[in-house]
Amino acid sequence: MIRAGIIGGAGYTAGELIRLLVNHPEVELKWVHSTSNAGNPLTAVHGGLEGECDLVFASEYDLQVVDVVFLCSAHGQSSVWLSENSLPEGVKVIDLAQDFRDEHDGFIYGLAEWQREKVASANRIANPGCFATAIQLALLPLAAAQKLEDEVHITAITGSTGAGVKPSATTHFSWRASNLSVYKSFTHQHLNEIGRNLHLLQPAFDKEINFVPMRGDFTRGIFASVYTTCSLSEEEAVALYRDYYATAEFTHYTDRAIDLKQVVNTNKALVHVAKYGSKLHITTAIDNLLKGASGQAVENMNRIFGLDPTTGLKLKASAF
């Protein structure tokens, strides 16, 4: 059994991670650390675990009794935690924050659709951002084939869980319900990892990546609409995407137009392309808490420990 611990256990991503790990056939969850909730049952914060888990939040933790640590604290806290803790030899780290997505300090960027072999041999994984996952899955085949030729234009909409568990003026129910809004236009933090990785795949690409994120009036999921001028015919583009994702366990190319409900509550990503004149239009859909966060973290754990990547992640979409 893989022995796991979680640092920062009170948020949405941690709640999803706990749900996956307590039902994972090859994992024993040893402890979940939370400073603010120490001593409380996990079910007091994550009510969906009622009847499945009797753990309480720990105020202290023993790194000697785990094989992998998941870091689920706020951005900026993972690097602090690593500087303050000495990891026993062999203990793996999977960081769900953005601290190490530039792959410094021995971290590997954990997008298996891009670098599967590196993920499988890694000791430290930087889990990709949610928007970054959806957008890169739309662009990886083009970059790998050196076919990014012009500016890229992206509009992507995310559910309210992407903003975290603490309510704010733009996340509480009465504001978010029956509403749409734009935020961080052209400046979203995930552009850093997207631009870096696409340049690594296609070094000559020097055009703008234009990204307009949107807040949706639903709880979970990301739907990304991406277009760019491309010399490939529709038939060539379809073949490129189909071949690129042919061996991917979770990302699937489909000839049919996609819907968000096809992926919610799964670690699955769906990709579709169509050509309109000179423009190639790519759509992708993921669950922001699963393929965009905790599900992808478990997928990466499975790969590191030599398990079938789908272990514990065969989840049905909440389509109705």
Question: Which are the catalytic amino acids?
Answer: 130
Long-range contacts of 102-109 (CB under 8 A, 24+ apart): 102/192, 102/193, 102/196, 105/79, 109/193, 109/197
| Dihedral, 181, 176, 295, 267 alpha carbons, nearest 10 | -70
Give the H or E element holding residue 111: none
Least Cα distance to 226 among 105, 137, 306 occurs for 137
Angstrom distance (rounded) from CA 302 to CA 300: 5
Q: What DSSP assignment string belongs to 265-306?
A: TSS-EEEEEEEETTEEEEEEEE-TTTTTTHHHHHHHHHHHTT
Q: Which residue type does 180 have?
A: L
Q: What DSSP assignment string belongs to 155-199?
A: EEEE-GGGG-SS--TTTSHHHHTT--EE-STTT-THHHHHHHHHH
In terms of DSSP H, where are the helices of the chain? 12-22, 42-45, 77-84, 112-120, 130-144, 173-176, 190-201, 234-244, 294-304
Strand partners, 7: 33, 71
> Among all chains, which residue has been given the structure tokens 């400046």?
187
